[in-house]
């Protein structure tokens, strides 16, 4: 029967202030953060302030184990940040002023620090290290780790007070633990720092450098911790990120090309046509011409029970309230598991020139090149995991709502299922996007003139709305996320928003 070393940390207050490498809230607390707490606890319990000896073998064994599973209480961001005033390290200057008989106060030397904590809706975090026959614990090491864990006083900031414990559990006991399951993931998820062999030695090195930071020659900065890994963790209910490839639109001279976001379906159509031509000339192994019609062109065949196809998504530029929303990037996205086919298509699109289908798309100018690119600040707005998504282009519902809110809600629920959005979420809709430069969901204005985004002819009779999705329990869902009947040609495209965009 499988067994696990379980190290449990219980917070004494319902909040956590820990920050990750990017400066954002870190939840669950990383396994490296746990190891740092264990090292501090061992030093305090056995009064080993400069040289760690008693728990060294047990911690070395722990750092060599595979990344643990984590079961953690859910959290939500606190509604309001609060401000701290951190005294600067200038006591010598204040004392010198006092010695000269002048008035001075440390209160005059403070740095403002705004803090946004995570509110814990529970109390415990369990770190579960799977024990194989090769890594079966020696009872003496488990006893040392148990005593060490029971000496933990905090996890994260010094104000995040906590207690700890450790034990060996069987699978049935693990199944009864309360909380959200987090597992290591090769793709997507939350990056967490992970100890590895040598991390303990580097922690000891850093502590020694800290003790010797002031020398006769002056102050010597303390180098940061260097020996650790970063492992991505995914919640049990978090979807895997859909594979995608991004291209820049470039002019022949290398300058960036811009296309009107109102007419982005033209770009999607040209990109789709280019992919069809490329695949007819170079089919992947194991497929026939029907694959091009169904998968690349998106035509549903009678034989298909579950239709799968590529999506061609022009990306309006976002990032700031004043950003020009013209299209300068395009994305090709594939269904889950189709990375090999997507790579085959993307390699053959790279360096190709878009071809006008109507003849007037570029107003007599030269069409752009497709240049492969890695993610940048714009494309990441469409791909980075977040718990709140807003539509930049309107969602075309699978039918007409007859101006009945109940029917609108039902059609949105159908559209979410069709887009494989199965996680519990709340949504709201309207005619206008949360992005200030996005266009309305209406087809016509009050003078009956065309307005909003150009749609394909077969979508003109269907209701369109702008949509906001909020996933429950702080679940961060990765993009690209496109919803509705136009989701394969750039309509219903969702993005994350920061405060500057929404002003």
Mean pLDDT of the chain: 89
Q: Which of 210, 235, 260 is the last residue of a domain?
A: 235
d(C-alpha 61, C-alpha 40), whole Å? 17
Q: Is the model's pLDDT at 19 over the cut of 80?
A: yes
3-state secondary structure of 234: strand
DSSP string, 356-377: -SSS-TTTTSPPPEEEEE---H
Residue pair 286/374 in contact by the 8 Å Cβ criterion: no
Number of domains making up the chain: 3
C-beta neighbour count of 405 within 10 angstroms: 9
Q: Is the model's pLDDT at 242 over the cut of 50?
A: yes
Q: Which of 189, 215, 235 is the last residue of a domain?
A: 235
Domain presence at residue 180:
yes
- The whole-number pLDDT of residue 359 equals 85
| 71, β-bridge pairs | 126, 181
Closest CA to 317 of 376, 265, 372: 376
Name residue, tokens 């429950």: 472
- Lowest average pLDDT, out of 47-61, 157-171, 247-261, 291-305, goes to 291-305
- The answer on 189 and 89 residing in a single domain is no
Q: Which of 90, 111, 132 is the last residue of a domain?
A: 111
Q: Which residues, other chains included, contact 126 with Cβ-Cβ below 8 Å and sequence gap of 6+?
A: 6, 7, 8, 70, 71, 72, 177, 179
- The answer on 125 and 107 residing in a single domain is no
DSSP string, 31-64: HHHHHHHHHHHHHHHTT-SS---TTHHHHHHHHT
Domain presence at residue 16:
yes
Q: Is the model's pLDDT at 449 over the cut of 50?
A: yes
- The whole-number pLDDT of residue 503 equals 46
- The whole-number pLDDT of residue 427 equals 95
d(C-alpha 194, C-alpha 409), whole Å? 43
Task: Indicate the pLDDT class of residue 34, thresholds 50, 70 and 90.
Answer: very high
- The answer on 134 and 69 residing in a single domain is yes
Q: What is the pLDDT of residues 266-305, one digit of tens each?
A: 999 999 999 999 999 999 988 888 899 999 999 986 655 6
- The answer on 194 and 265 residing in a single domain is no
Task: Indicate the pLDDT class of residue 187, thresholds 50, 70 and 90.
Answer: confident
Task: Indicate the pLDDT class of residue 118, thresholds 50, 70 and 90.
Answer: confident
Cα 310 to chain centroid, rounded:
23
- The answer on 295 and 444 residing in a single domain is yes
- The whole-number pLDDT of residue 303 equals 58
Domain presence at residue 453:
yes
d(C-alpha 274, C-alpha 297), whole Å? 10
> Residue 387 is encoded by which pair of tokens?
């718990």
Please compute, for residue 302, the number of CA atoms within 13 A of its CA located in the half-sphere on the CB side: 0
Q: What is the pLDDT of residues 324-373, one digit of tens each?
A: 999 999 999 999 989 999 999 999 999 999 999 988 889 888 999 999 99
- The answer on 439 and 392 residing in a single domain is yes
Domain presence at residue 502:
no
Cα 154 to chain centroid, rounded:
27
- The whole-number pLDDT of residue 84 equals 78
Domain carrying residue 229: 3-75+119-235
- The answer on 91 and 61 residing in a single domain is no
- The answer on 65 and 95 residing in a single domain is no
**How large is the average pLDDT for residues 432-438?**
93
> How big is the chain by its Cα radius of gyration, in Å?
28
Backbone angles phi, psi at 131, to 5 degrees: -105, 115
- The whole-number pLDDT of residue 192 equals 94
- The whole-number pLDDT of residue 217 equals 81
- The whole-number pLDDT of residue 91 equals 66
- The answer on 325 and 454 residing in a single domain is yes
Domain presence at residue 476:
yes
- The answer on 91 and 70 residing in a single domain is no
Q: Which residues, other chains included, contact 145 with Cβ-Cβ below 8 Å and sequence gap of 6+?
A: 5, 7, 38, 55, 58, 59, 62, 166
Sign of the four-CA dihedral 482, 484, 490, 493:
negative
Domain presence at residue 36:
yes
Give the residue ranges of DSSP H helices in 350-389.
377-381
Helix axes 31-45, 139-149, angle to 10 degrees: 90
Cα 497 to chain centroid, rounded:
13
Q: What is the pLDDT of residues 467-503, one digit of tens each?
A: 999 998 778 899 999 999 999 999 999 999 865 555 4
- The whole-number pLDDT of residue 20 equals 80
- The whole-number pLDDT of residue 280 equals 94
**How large is the average pLDDT for residues 206-220?**
86
CATH of the domain at 194: 3.30.70
- The answer on 277 and 162 residing in a single domain is no
Is the full-model pTM beyond 0.75?
no
d(C-alpha 148, C-alpha 273), whole Å? 63
Domain presence at residue 164:
yes
Select the highest-mean-pLDDT range: 234-248, 288-302, 389-403. Answer: 389-403
- The whole-number pLDDT of residue 111 equals 79
- The answer on 258 and 208 residing in a single domain is no
Domain presence at residue 500:
no
């Amino acid at each position: 029967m499988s067994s696990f070393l379980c190290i449990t940390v219980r917070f004494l207050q319902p909040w956590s202030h820990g920050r990750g490498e990017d400066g954002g809230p870190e939840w669950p607390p990383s396994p490296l953060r746990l190891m740092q707490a264990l090292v501090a606890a061992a030093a305090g319990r056995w009064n080993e302030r400069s040289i760690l000896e008693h728990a060294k073998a047990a911690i070395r064994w722990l750092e060599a184990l595979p990344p643990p599973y984590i079961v953690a209480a859910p959290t939500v961001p606190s509604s309001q940040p609060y401000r701290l005033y951190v005294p600067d390290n200038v006591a010598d200057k204040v004392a010198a002023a006092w010695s000269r008989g002048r008035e001075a106060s440390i209160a005059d030397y403070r740095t403002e620090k705004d803090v946004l904590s995570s509110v814990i809706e529970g109390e415990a975090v369990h770190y579960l290290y799977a024990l194989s026959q090769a890594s079966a614990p020696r009872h003496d090491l488990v006893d040392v780790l148990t005593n060490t864990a029971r000496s933990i006083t905090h996890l994260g900031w010094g104000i995040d007070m906590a207690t700890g414990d450790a034990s060996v559990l069987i699978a049935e006991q693990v199944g009864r633990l309360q909380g959200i399951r987090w597992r290591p993931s090769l793709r997507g998820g939350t990056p967490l720092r992970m100890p590895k062999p040598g991390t303990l030695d580097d922690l000891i090195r850093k502590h020694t450098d800290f003790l010797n930071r002031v020398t006769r020659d002056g102050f010597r900065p303390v180098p940061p911790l260097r020996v650790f890994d970063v492992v991505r963790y995914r919640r049990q209910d978090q979807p895997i990120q859909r594979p995608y490839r991004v291209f820049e639109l470039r002019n022949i001279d290398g300058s960036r090309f811009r296309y009107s976001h109102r007419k982005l379906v033209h770009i999607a159509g040209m990109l789709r046509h280019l992919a069809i031509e490329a695949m007819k000339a170079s089919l992947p192994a194991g497929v026939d011409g029907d694959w091009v019609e169904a998968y690349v062109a998106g035509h549903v065949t009678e034989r298909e029970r579950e239709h799968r196809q590529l999506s061609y998504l022009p990306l309006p530029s976002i990032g700031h309230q004043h950003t020009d929303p013209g299209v300068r990037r395009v994305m090709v996205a594939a269904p889950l598991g189709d990375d090999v086919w997507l790579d085959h298509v993307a390699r053959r699109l790279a360096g190709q020139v878009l071809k006008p289908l109507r003849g007037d798309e570029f107003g007599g100018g030269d069409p752009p090149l497709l240049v492969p690119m890695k993610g940048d600040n714009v494309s990441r707005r469409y791909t980075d995991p977040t718990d709140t998504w807003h539509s930049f282009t309107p969602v075309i519902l699978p039918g007409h709502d007859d101006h009945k809110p109940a029917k609108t809600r039902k059609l949105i629920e159908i559209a979410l299922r069709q887009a494989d959005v199965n996680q519990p979420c709340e949504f709201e809709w309207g005619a206008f996007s949360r992005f200030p430069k996005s266009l309305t969901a209406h087809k016509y204005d009050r003078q009956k003139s065309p307005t909003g985004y150009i749609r394909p002819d077969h979508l003109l009779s269907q209701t369109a709305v702008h949509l906001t999705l909020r996933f429950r329990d702080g679940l961060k869902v990765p993009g690209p996320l496109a919803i509705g009947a136009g989701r394969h040609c750039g309509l219903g495209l969702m993005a994350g928003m920061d405060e500057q965009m929404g002003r």
